[in-house]
């Protein structure tokens, strides 16, 4: 699956809509993925989540517990879901690879 974007990057996605090569991720690509997932505009609140996910993945190589992301920002446990309609959508927009079956099941 490919997503049309304003960027010159050809982004390929797996069957779950997750970016195959996270190295091609850009903020413009994030906006295109967000639109595909029904998030019309990425606000500063969205970017806080995206940055937290990307930083955690870069440091530890795994997905964080979304409750920890919410607490870190002083928000309730539904914050990420309210912004992105699902935690998996937040992960997609952040341009990160498949987090594994356990995370996907928990985030759905």
Asked if 80 and 66 count as a contact pair (C-beta separation under 8 A), the reply is yes
pLDDT in tens, 51-74: 999 999 999 999 999 999 999 999
Q: What is the DSSP string of 40-94?
A: ----HHHHHHHHHHHHHHHHHSSPPPHHHHHHHTT--TTHHHHHHSSHHHHHHHT
Stretch 19-25: mean pLDDT: 95
Q: What is the pTM of this model?
A: 0.89
Q: Just give the CATH number of 22-107.
A: 1.10.10.370
| Backbone torsions φ then ψ of 22, nearest 5 degrees | -60, -20
At 35 the three-state DSSP class reads helix
pLDDT above 90 as % of the chain: 86
């Amino acid at each position: 699956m490919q997503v049309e974007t304003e960027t010159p990057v050809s982004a390929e996605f797996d069957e779950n809509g997750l970016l195959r090569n996270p190295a091609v991720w850009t903020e413009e690509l994030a906006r295109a993925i967000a639109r595909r997932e029904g998030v019309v505009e990425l606000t500063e609140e969205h970017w806080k989540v995206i940055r937290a996910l990307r930083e955690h993945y870069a440091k530890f190589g795994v997905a964080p517990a979304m409750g920890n992301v919410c607490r870190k920002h002083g928000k309730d446990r539904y914050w990420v879901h309210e912004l992105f309609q699902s935690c998996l959508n937040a992960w997609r927009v952040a341009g990160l690879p498949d987090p594994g079956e356990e995370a996907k099941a928990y985030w759905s």
